[in-house]
Amino acid sequence: MTEQQGIWGPGPRTELHLNDLILGESRAGVFLQTPENFNIPRGKSPWTETLLWKPEYQIITPDQKQPAQEKENPLFLDQGKSSPEVWLEKAQNLWTQGWRNLALICHSTDLEFLTGLQNQIRLPIILQVENTHENVSSVIMGALACGVEGVLAPFTNLETWEELYPQLKSLVFSLEKELIRPPLKKIVHIPEQTQNPGNSRTVAFQGERGAYSELAVFSLFDPKDTSAIPMKAFRDVYEAVLKGEVDYGLLPLENALAGSIHDNFDLLLQYPDLHIVAETQIRIEHNLIGLPGATLQDIKKVYSHPQGLAQSAAFLDQHPEWERVPFYDTAGSVAYVAEQKDPTLAGIASAVAAKFYGMEILKSGVETNPRNFTRFALIAPLGVTPLGLVNKASLVFSTAHSPGALSDCLSILSQHQLNMRKIESRPIHGKPWSYMFYVDVEVPADMALFDAARKALTEKASEFRLLGAYPSR
C-alpha cells in the first residue's frame, strides 16, 4: 500500500503486528475481554497458545486524540457512536500521520456491511461482539467466516477458566488448525500394481502413483482388496465416480498450513448426486528426492506442487541458488525427474514416491512445519452408506441479506448440541457479494438432534444442502 493510496480501495490487506504474531489474510485472532483478575492457565490445553490472551494494543475513538505511544505499536480505531464517514476519515488521518499498525473496530454483524467495508478499505477489521449475543462463539465463527482479521470477544461475565473453556472449544479449528492433530497413523505401503482383477473395490484419486492422496486411500482401505486409480484432475475423480467407473473417489479438502482446497469445495456443490462417506487425515512429510547417487551439491532445479514448494520454503531458502519449478503434482515431480535422468534435478514428495520410482531421498523432512496434515474426503454416489459410525457432517447453506441472518443459522447448531468444527465462506458464482457457508459439525450419538437441526436449517437458510454425514478417522 502506497502513501498515495492510503487506506482506500480493493487489493491486498495490510497486516496487523501484535507481539510476536501477525494477523492478516492467512490468519485471524480472537482477543478475549475477561475480568482483570481472570487467571488463564497457559499450559491448560495444547491450543491455548492459539488465542491472543493479553496482546498489547490501544483503543481510541474518532473523537479522541491519537495517543503519545510509538506509531509502530498496534492501534485500534473504534467506530463508537461516530458515523462511518467520520470513522473512516479519522482512519485516513491516522494513516497519513504514520500509523501503519492500524486496525478498525466494527460493531456490525451484518454480512453485507462487513463485505462492503472489506472491499472499500485495506485496513484489518476487528469485530466487536456485544455482550447481548446469547451465543458468543457462534457470532465469532460467523465473523471469521466473513473474513475479518480479528474479533474482540466479551467474556467479562465469566469468573473461572472452567466457564470459559466450553465456549472457546468450538473456535479452535478456525484459529490455528495446525495445533490440533490426530495421532500419527502407522505407515501404509501401496501395492506395486495399480489394478488387480481380484480386487473388490476401486478408488480414484488425483495425482500420480505415490501421491499423498494414494497414501490416504490405503489409510482407509486394505491394499489387498483395493485398487487405487490415478486421475489427472479433481474433476476427473468426480466424473469417474458419477459414471460408475470407480466405486469411490478420494479428494483433499484442507491442509493444516495452506488452508482449504477451494476447487474441491466448489466441485462438491456441482455434483449433487455424490456425497461424503468417510474422512481421513494423514501427515504430510516432504522429502527432497533425486537420482540415486546425486548429492545436494548437484542440485540446480527443484520441482514440486506449488504447495509442496511453499511448505518447504524454509529449507529451500537455505539454497537460494536452486531454481524452484512449480509442477502439477508432488509425486509427478519425482516421476518427471526419474524420466529426465538428470542429477541436477530434484523433486519434493513423499518417501513412498521415492521408493515407487526407484529414486533416492537426498534430504528427509524438509517441510517447514512438522504439524502438516491434510484432510481427505471419500466420496461416493448417493445411496452408498457411510464407512462406519457417523460422527461428523459437512453442510453448506446461504442466508438472506439481513442483519443477524448468519448468526441465526449458526445458533440452530448450538441449540441442537452440534459442535461446530469449521466454517468457511465461498462466493456464489454469478452473484457478486453473495456467499455460501461451508460448515463442519460433530454429530452427537443421538441422531435425532442432528436430523432436527438439519430440518431447522433447511427452513431458515435461503439454500441448504448436506454434503455428507460420515465417520471421521
Residue 4's pLDDT is what? Answer: 43
The rounded distance, in Å, linking the Cα atoms of 437 and 422 is 10
| Spans of the chain below 70 pLDDT | 1-57, 68-69, 109-112, 114-115, 118-119, 130-147, 153-199, 430, 432
What is 298-367 written as a DSSP string?
Answer: G--EEEE-HHHHHHTHHHHHT-TTSEEEE-S-HHHHHHHHHHHT-TTEEEEE-HHHHHHTT-EEEEE---
Q: Three cell numbers at 234? A: 479433481
Cα distances (Å, whole numbers) of residue 136 to 75, 114, 413: 24, 18, 13
Whether 200 contacts 223, CB under 8 Å = no
Is residue 265 part of the annotated active site? The answer reads: no
Whether 268 contacts 275, CB under 8 Å = no
φ/ψ of residue 456, rounded to 5: -65, -40
pLDDT in tens, 162-205: 555 555 554 543 443 322 222 333 334 455 544 455 558 999 99
The rounded distance, in Å, linking the Cα atoms of 448 and 437 is 23
Residue 174's pLDDT is what? Answer: 40
User: Angle, nearest 10°, between helix axes 330-340 and 212-220?
Assistant: 120
Residue 470's pLDDT is what? Answer: 96
For residue 125, what is the DSSP state? E
Can 201-284+372-381 and 287-364 be said to share one CATH topology? yes
Residue 329's pLDDT is what? Answer: 84
Residue 157's pLDDT is what? Answer: 58
pLDDT in tens, 293-352: 999 999 999 999 888 888 888 899 999 999 999 887 899 899 999 999 999 999 999 988
Is residue 280 part of the annotated active site? The answer reads: no
Residue whose C-alpha cell is 494494543:
57
For domain 392-470, is the CATH number 3.30.70.260? yes
Residue 175: enclosing H or E segment and its boundaries?
Answer: helix 172-175
Going from N- to C-terminal start, the domains of the chain cover 16-179, 201-284+372-381, 287-364, 392-470
Residue 168's pLDDT is what? Answer: 54
287-364 — its CATH code? 3.40.190.10
Q: Residue 201 forms beta bridges with which residues?
A: 226
Question: Which residues, 6+ apart, have CB-to-CB distance to 364 below 8 Å?
Answer: 285, 287, 288, 351
The catalytic position among 376, 437, 450, 464 is 376
Residue whose C-alpha cell is 503519545:
68
The catalytic position among 202, 226, 330, 374 is 374
Instruction: Assign a CATH topology to domain 201-284+372-381.
Output: D-Maltodextrin-Binding Protein; domain 2 (3.40.190)
Residue 316's pLDDT is what? Answer: 94
Q: How crowded is residue 444: how many other Cβ atoms within 10 Å of its Cβ?
A: 15
Question: Which residues, 6+ apart, have CB-to-CB distance to 70 below 8 Å?
Answer: none
Question: Which residues, 6+ apart, have CB-to-CB distance to 329 below 8 Å?
Answer: 206, 207, 208, 211, 305
Nearest to 410 by CA among 344, 341, 451, 456: 456
Residue 160's pLDDT is what? Answer: 55
